[in-house]
A and B are shown apart, each in its own frame.
Chain A
Amino acid sequence: MQVDPVNETASEERRQWLSILAKAQPDEVSAAWDTLAQPPAYSALRAPETGLVLVRGRMGGAGDAFNMGEMTVTRAAVRLESGETGIGYVAGRDRRHAELAAAVDAMMQAPALRPVVEGAVVAKLARAQAERRDTTARKAAATKVDFFTMVRTRGPQ
């Protein structure tokens, strides 16, 4: 895997928003997209396609890889009228989820369009995910065991 060091920061940013788009619920992405006043027109570079990704684990948890099983993934690629291209790779079989993820990815790379989606879609989805994660982490913490030591009572000396 070759990463151009100049573009590394840009890639890291892109990694972030692609992750947020992929981890969002399909209906959340759709609802956020529908709030855009003027969604840009785009054409499909790659029509949404559902396939499998082979999920790997690590032997013992931290060792070399083994193949544990597959997951369904849907991918799409779009081009905006202004020329930017975007891709979507999302778990599951929701075609619109993948297509909208690709459209948002393309918009995030277009300086004129980024402000349109950054808050209304990407940040909104990120907040929802952070809230869900926080709720889960609080529920988990509420089931943490508090150990206490039983005080031994000795009989009369």
Chain B
Amino acid sequence: MAYVSVKGGEKAITHAHQWLAEDRRGDPGVSELEVAQVREQLSLAVDRVMSEGSCYDRDLAALAIKQARGDLPEAIFLLRAYRTTLPRFGASLPVETEAMAVRRRVSAAFKDIPGGQVLGPTFDYTHRLLDFALAAEGGVAPEPAPQAEEPQAYPMPNIASVFRHEDLLEHDVRADEGPEPYDLTREPMKFPADRDQRLQALARGDEGFLLSLAYSSQRGWGSTHPLCGEIRMGEVAVEFVPDELGFAIEIGEVTLTECTMLSGFAGSAERPPQYTRGYGLTFGHCERKAMSMAIVDRALRHREVGEQADAPVQDEEFVLYHSDNVEASGFVQHLKLPHYVDFQADLQLIRRLRKEHFERRAALKEAAE
């Protein structure tokens, strides 16, 4: 088949992008959205873009949201693309989430968790009624949030440390001298995947995909019967060892959301019965994502506890190969780019098959007569 390359469309593309810019701006009679407004007032969208864009920078995420007209996967793509232009100085020391300056920490499993149930700024317990006061122009600033006489004491013990002495919860394995953790941004996926590789993929993974997987698990497709051991959100210092110094310094703070899910384990010949744990950790305040991640993490650990694995959420190739929304979106959306040659080839094939089909039918009919 002759292959004919075609060119064209430059003018159309330029005009389309000009129209896009005009549509992005919307009605010029309405004041333009500032990046700082996105950063401050659409902060959970910013958190999601940083989390799945895998790059903590509130201003960049806010800019990406403005540029993408609020299309979050598009904004995530923009942030991922930007990060490839920057050099990497190195890796931080692991963040110590137990030392978090907690703004929110709740345990659904253990009412009397030391430090208490701290609700923080949450949508929980709101009535989900549209608040038309927010639609009024020139709205008055809300009352400042009340402050307690005694500040919350930090560090706040977490659910794992509370039960540590009783061995009721599985312990985290910490060798510290082990190999460098797997880095998906430098190495391709490999299977079977270890937990460090899985957690990195889940941390970058699409919230919607992980939410649906976690939901499927809860509904019985690979259930781990989870209880929410703890959710915490707040600020954690990031420590880094610059080459010039040779010792660790704090280079800033990041907001993180962490979730620990508990699943009962009846025990085996080697292991006594105890709770196993699933873990979720995200940039920003992404609670739905952190909870989903923890459920999926636990489901993917089926080998460690000898669970039968027959559900999608337990299939690590299925989960890890399909959790990244930049890859997924790219592959699905590439279908709208010209496939003229593929279609031409298909057309020829279908025409030939149809011709053969009708010839066979005609021959059969003749034979029958």
In the assembled complex, A51 has its CB within 8 A of some CB on chain B: yes
In the assembled complex, B114 has its CB within 8 A of some CB on chain A: no
In the assembled complex, A106 has its CB within 8 A of some CB on chain B: no
Nearest opposing residue in chain A for B240, CB measure: A53
Nearest opposing residue in chain A for B146, CB measure: A142
Nearest opposing residue in chain B for A3, CB measure: B247
Nearest opposing residue in chain B for A62, CB measure: B172
Q: Which of A2, A61, A134, A145 has the most B CB atoms < 10 Å from its CB? A: A61
In the assembled complex, A157 has its CB within 8 A of some CB on chain B: no
| Residues of B with C-beta under 8 A to A139 | 103, 145-148
CA A22 to CA B146, docked complex, whole Å: 29
Known contacts A51-B86, A72-B56; decide if A64 and B196 are in contact (CB<8 Å).
yes
In the assembled complex, A30 has its CB within 8 A of some CB on chain B: no
In the assembled complex, A143 has its CB within 8 A of some CB on chain B: yes
A140 with B103: CB separation less than 8 A: yes
| Residues of B with C-beta under 8 A to A137 | 101, 151-154
Contact of A73 among B154, B204, B252 (CB under 8 A): B252
B258 with A61: CB separation less than 8 A: yes
CA A126 to CA B25, docked complex, whole Å: 41
Docked complex: B165-183 residues within 8 A CB-CB of A: 172-176, 178, 181-183
Contact of B158 among A61, A89, A143 (CB under 8 A): A61
In the assembled complex, A68 has its CB within 8 A of some CB on chain B: yes
Chain B: minimal CB distance from A7 (Å): 9
B252 with A23: CB separation less than 8 A: yes
A15 with B97: CB separation less than 8 A: no
| Residues of A with C-beta under 8 A to B96 | 58
Known contacts A56-B94, A61-B97, A145-B116; decide if A90 and B57 are in contact (CB<8 Å).
no
CA A141 to CA B105, docked complex, whole Å: 11
Chain A: minimal CB distance from B339 (Å): 34
CA A19 to CA B176, docked complex, whole Å: 24
For chain B, the bracket of interface size reads 35 or more
Interface string of A106-139 (1 = CB under 8 A from B): 0000000000000000000000000001111111
A71 with B56: CB separation less than 8 A: yes
B118 with A1: CB separation less than 8 A: no
Interface string of A50-68 (1 = CB under 8 A from B): 1111111111111111111
Main secondary structure of the interface of A (DSSP, over half): mixed
For chain A, the bracket of interface size reads 35 or more
Nearest opposing residue in chain B for A15, CB measure: B249
Docked complex: A88-108 residues within 8 A CB-CB of B: 89-93
Contact of B246 among A1, A66, A90, A145 (CB under 8 A): A1
CA A24 to CA B150, docked complex, whole Å: 24
CA A142 to CA B120, docked complex, whole Å: 9
A53 with B54: CB separation less than 8 A: no
Q: Given contact pairs A51-B88, A71-B238, enumerate 14 new A-B contacts (beta carbons under 8 Å).
A: A1-B247, A23-B250, A54-B88, A54-B92, A55-B56, A55-B254, A59-B196, A59-B199, A60-B172, A61-B97, A69-B50, A69-B204, A72-B56, A138-B152
Listed in ascending order, the chain A residues whose CB lies under 8 Å from chain B are 1-3, 11, 14-15, 18-19, 22-23, 49-73, 75, 77, 87, 89-93, 133-145, 147
A/B interface sample: 10 pairs, CB < 8 A = A3-B246, A15-B249, A19-B249, A61-B279, A68-B281, A72-B56, A90-B251, A140-B152, A142-B148, A144-B148
